[in-house]
């Protein structure tokens, strides 16, 4: 370690580079907002270089555009005209319809509103006008006739405002049992709603308010917000709820962070603040239908069938044009694109692990530069730094292909700063450090070769201590197979078997905590003690384990422990007396039946409770049945993604082994299956399998 520290930190160049690297990574972890602009610029580059070019068309935008305003009249329209538009769309049987607008005041063109300012008029005329339907009532009837959502505005006021308007109910799902919504959600302390008659008529109520990123660009949309201390769905989420005909929305959270939302059968992962990144396509006029054409009956009603319809105002001076990574577009189209993302099942993700991976990339590449740059001359150093930055960018774009956002701009910036610090501090000691590097590399190679030789010798000694199957061969009453594969050269697993006398076979499988030489020595001690007590005439398995536990626990400075399954098989009856000291339950393989785990009362591992009284338990094997004992290296075998094999898969593997297989074949098939599951991943633990098949008396 002294040589490594000297290698990494000696010299002004490396010390300066380390100082910059540590400071930069610290800022990256503690103040990620400091790098927000380069990070967002990179994310925009992902979108502009690889936008979403092909998409389905489950969403239609009915646009109140310039041509419509010229044809129908200026905005806002009398509400009975808007009601006619809603009715025309609903006649086409859409899955859901949203009005991307808020109507907080009564229609001033409505008869009762006109009368208020009309002055004196004949009573007959006054009564006739009062008999006319209110425009708001006409629109309310249209809204109530189908799956229509109306907008709700979130407001941040100086004083909080109560809100009792309709909102979709939420169901909170949290593994820890939390009942309050996480504090990460965007919050508004007041609302702006349409007039009560319209607000109550609509089946859905979606929040229209969206906060842009710090630079004013809209890259993600919140799925859920808090308005006036209540959970409120976004317009997009509420439309999905109406489409799915779901009575409520499920909000998934964990450790004060949002993990996703669900409506009906649809589950949508989100960021910790409940937002979802949008994979944008450029502004597409094909998404739009002019409202004037709909009102005039020029649009085929099937254009809306089972599609989500958004009604928005796009006329000049009325549109909320919003900047996105691929250009400006109406806010209604941004919502449409989010819905397309969800319904296509291709959501942009920025998983929580990126917050750890990005500083790790900075540190790993920075450390690589500090180690490597001193080995080459300046022109090559520049090429290496350029290559590292290019590799980071290539990694970012490659990961973006799976619609996962990872910030490689900040690590790339870190590499540039590390390189400049290295050059600034290293010029005075360059030649000296080169010579020192060569010397230390040679010393390290020699030490590594020596350690490898010693470990190989230890492995041969350890494997030689394990009994061979040939030592109990020749007895037709049973056959036996065993295998131990250490994760490293020296492992901490053990197995043992031997005949106590002509009719009794002792066997044991154990797993020592830890790996390497200490675990191997502890394994040898435990194996020797169990063998000694069994051969001395101690007939009870529980007593053998209790005596071995007491002896090992007396001197255990490394605080190791052993899980062990030990038993004695009566070769004439198939009776097995066994004791389980904190070990994985073995399986009994039965011809014609599924493997069955041996459930036992058992006890703690050896060296955990010094004076524990282990009990002897019993099971009986029938002719042709096999007892298969494994260590946790089987159930806890991991593939490259980190997934565990698990007891259920182990049981499936054993169930697939032919029931006429002998013990050695059982061991081999199980080992091969574990190898296929793990693949190219490095072994995470020692693996031991012992199988005993009782053939009968």
For residue range 263-272, list pLDDT tens digits in order.
988 999 998 8
Q: Is the pLDDT of residue 316 over 70?
A: no
Q: Is the pLDDT of residue 13 over 90?
A: no
Q: What is the pLDDT of residue 424?
A: 84
Q: What is the pLDDT of residue 115?
A: 64
Apex CA 360: angle with CA 358 and CA 362, to 5°?
75
Of 590, 611, 580, 554, nearest to 694 (Cα)? 590
244 against 472, higher pLDDT: 244
Range with lowest mean pLDDT among 222-231, 235-244, 432-441, 483-492:
432-441
Q: What pLDDT band is residue 108 in, cutting at 50, 70 and 90? A: confident
Of 587, 583, 569, 585, nearest to 670 (Cα)? 587
Q: What is the pLDDT of residue 143?
A: 92
Distance CA 530, CA 508 (A): 8
Average of per-residue pLDDT across 182-203: 89
- Fill in the DSSP letter of residue 332: H
Q: Is the pLDDT of residue 236 over 90?
A: yes
pLDDT digits (tens, 9 = 90+) for 28-61: 999 888 888 999 999 989 999 888 877 667 899 9
Q: Is the pLDDT of residue 449 over 70?
A: no
Q: What is the pLDDT of residue 61?
A: 92
Q: Is the pLDDT of residue 645 over 90?
A: no
Cβ atoms within 10 Å, residue 289? 19
Distance CA 200, CA 675 (A): 62
Q: What pLDDT band is residue 1 in, cutting at 50, 70 and 90? A: low
Q: Is the pLDDT of residue 206 over 90?
A: yes
Q: What is the pLDDT of residue 221?
A: 92
Structure tokens at 559: 């605080």
Q: What is the pLDDT of residue 319?
A: 59
Q: What pLDDT band is residue 171 in, cutting at 50, 70 and 90? A: very high
Q: What is the pLDDT of residue 384?
A: 87
Q: What is the pLDDT of residue 412?
A: 92
Cβ neighbours of residue 167 closer than 8 Å, sequence gap 6 or more: 152, 205, 227, 230, 231, 232, 233
Cβ atoms within 10 Å, residue 540? 16
Quote the percentage of the chain above a pLDDT of 70.
91
Distance CA 482, CA 488 (A): 19
Average of per-residue pLDDT across 446-463: 66
What mean pLDDT is reported for the chain?
85
Q: What is the pLDDT of residue 94?
A: 94
Q: What is the pLDDT of residue 117?
A: 66
Q: What is the pLDDT of residue 572?
A: 92
Structure tokens at 368: 């690589």
CA 427 vs CA 16, 178, 438: distances in Å: 12, 58, 18
Q: Is the pLDDT of residue 111 over 80?
A: no
Cβ neighbours of residue 119 closer than 8 Å, sequence gap 6 or more: none
Q: What is the pLDDT of residue 453?
A: 63
Q: Is the pLDDT of residue 260 over 70?
A: yes
Q: What is the pLDDT of residue 628?
A: 93
Q: What pLDDT band is residue 317 in, cutting at 50, 70 and 90? A: low
Q: What pLDDT band is residue 128 in, cutting at 50, 70 and 90? A: low
Distance CA 594, CA 363 (A): 50
Q: Is 457 helix (H, G, I), strand (E, B) or coil?
A: helix
Q: What pLDDT band is residue 149 in, cutting at 50, 70 and 90? A: very high
Q: Is the pLDDT of residue 428 over 60?
A: no
Fold of 467-694: Phosphatase 2c; domain 1 (3.60.40)
Distance CA 96, CA 451 (A): 70
pLDDT digits (tens, 9 = 90+) for 471-506: 888 889 999 999 988 877 677 788 888 888 888 999
Q: Is the pLDDT of residue 433 over 70?
A: no
pLDDT digits (tens, 9 = 90+) for 612-632: 888 999 999 999 999 999 988
Q: What is the pLDDT of residue 52?
A: 84
pLDDT digits (tens, 9 = 90+) for 552-574: 888 777 788 888 999 999 999 99
pLDDT digits (tens, 9 = 90+) for 321-378: 889 999 888 889 999 999 999 988 888 998 888 889 999 999 999 888 888 877 877 7
Q: What is the pLDDT of residue 325?
A: 92
Q: What is the pLDDT of residue 252?
A: 92
DSSP 526-591: HHHHHHHHHHTT---HHHHHHHHHHHHHTS-TT---EEEEEEEEETTT-EEEEEEESPPP-EEE-T
Q: What is the pLDDT of residue 127?
A: 62
Please report how many Cα atoms fall inside a 13 Å half-sphere around the Cα of residue 312, on the Cβ side.
23
Q: What is the pLDDT of residue 435?
A: 64
Q: What is the pLDDT of residue 120?
A: 67
Q: What is the pLDDT of residue 130?
A: 64
Residue whose token pair is 């019993």: 618
80 against 373, higher pLDDT: 80
Q: What is the pLDDT of residue 513?
A: 80
Q: Is the pLDDT of residue 141 over 60?
A: yes
Q: What is the pLDDT of residue 308?
A: 94
- Residues 45-59: b if buried by 16+ CB within 10 A, e if exposed: bbbeeeebeebeebb
């Amino acid at each position: 370690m002294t040589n490594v520290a000297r290698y990494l930190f000696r010299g002004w160049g490396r010390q300066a580079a380390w100082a910059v690297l540590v400071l930069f990574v610290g800022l990256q972890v503690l103040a990620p907002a400091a790098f927000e602009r380069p990070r967002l610029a990179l994310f925009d580059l992902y979108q502009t270089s690889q936008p979403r070019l092909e998409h389905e068309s489950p969403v239609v935008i009915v646009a109140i555009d310039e041509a419509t305003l010229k044809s129908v009249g200026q905005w806002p329209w009398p509400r009975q005209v808007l009601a006619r538009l809603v009715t025309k769309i609903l006649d086409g049987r859409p899955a859901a319809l949203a009005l991307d607008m808020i109507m907080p005041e009564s229609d001033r063109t409505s008869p009762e509103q006109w009368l208020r300012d009309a002055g004196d008029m004949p009573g007959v005329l006054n009564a006739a006008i009062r008999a006319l339907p209110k425009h708001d009532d006409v629109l309310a009837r249209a809204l109530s006739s189908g799956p229509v959502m109306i907008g709700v505005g979130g407001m941040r006021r100086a004083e909080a405002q109560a809100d009792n308007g309709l909102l979709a109910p939420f169901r909170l799902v949290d593994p820890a049992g939390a009942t309050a919504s996480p504090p990460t959600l965007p919050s508004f302390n007041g609302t702006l709603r349409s007039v009560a008659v319209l607000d109550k008529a609509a089946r859905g109520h979606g929040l229209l308010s969206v906060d842009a990123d710090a630079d004013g660009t809209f890259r993600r949309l919140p799925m859920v917000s808090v308005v006036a201390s209540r959970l409120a769905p976004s317009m997009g989420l509420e439309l999905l709820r109406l489409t799915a005909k779901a009575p409520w929305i499920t909000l998934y959270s964990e450790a004060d962070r949002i993990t996703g939302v669900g409506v009906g059968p649809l589950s949508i992962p989100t960021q910790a603040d409940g937002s979802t990144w949008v994979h944008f396509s450029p502004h597409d006029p094909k998404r739009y239908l002019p409202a004037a054409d709909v009102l005039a009956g020029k649009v085929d009603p099937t254009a809306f069938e089972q599609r989500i319809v958004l009604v928005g105002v796009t006329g000049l001076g009325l549109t909320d044009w919003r900047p996105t990574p691929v250009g400006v577009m109406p806010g209604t189209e941004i919502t449409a694109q989010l819905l397309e993302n969800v319904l296509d099942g291709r959501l942009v993700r920025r998983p929580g692990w990126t917050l750890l991976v990005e500083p790790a990339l900075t540190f790993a590449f920075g450390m690589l530069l500090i180690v490597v740059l001193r080995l080459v001359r300046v022109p090559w150093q520049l090429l290496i730094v350029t290559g590292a930055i290019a590799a980071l960018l290539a990694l970012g774009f490659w990961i973006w292909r799976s619609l996962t956002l990872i910030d490689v701009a900040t690590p790339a910036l870190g590499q540039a700063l590390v390189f400049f610090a290295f050059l600034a501090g290293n010029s005075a000691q360059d030649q000296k450090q080169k010579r020192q590097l060569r010397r230390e590399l040679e010393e390290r190679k020699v030490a590594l070769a020596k350690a490898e030789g010693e470990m190989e010798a230890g492995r041969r000694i350890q494997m030689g201590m394990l009994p061979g199957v040939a030592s109990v061969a020749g007895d037709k009453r049973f056959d036996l197979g065993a295998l131990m594969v250490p994760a490293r050269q020296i492992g901490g697993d053990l197995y043992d078997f031997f005949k106590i006398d002509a009719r009794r076979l002792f066997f044991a499988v154990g797993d020592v905590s830890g790996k390497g030489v200490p675990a191997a020595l502890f394994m040898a001690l435990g194996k020797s003690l169990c063998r000694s007590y069994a051969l001395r005439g101690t007939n009870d398995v529980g007593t053998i384990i209790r005596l071995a536990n007491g002896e090992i626990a007396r001197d255990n400075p490394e605080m190791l422990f052993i899980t062990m399954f030990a038993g004695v098989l009566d070769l004439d009856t198939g009776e097995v007396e066994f004791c389980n000291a904190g070990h994985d339950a073995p399986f009994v393989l039965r011809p014609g039946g599924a493997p069955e785990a041996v459930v036992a009362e058992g006890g703690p591992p050896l060296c955990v409770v010094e004076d524990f009284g282990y009990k002897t338990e019993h099971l009986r094997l029938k002719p042709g049945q096999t007892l298969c004992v494994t260590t946790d290296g089987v159930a806890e075998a991991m593939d490259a993604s980190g997934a565990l094999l698990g007891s259920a898969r182990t049981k499936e593997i054993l169930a697939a082994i032919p029931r006429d297989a002998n013990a050695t074949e059982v061991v081999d098939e199980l080992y091969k299956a574990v190898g296929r599951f793990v693949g190219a991943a490095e072994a995470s633990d020692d693996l031991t399998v012992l199988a005993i098949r009782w053939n009968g008396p």
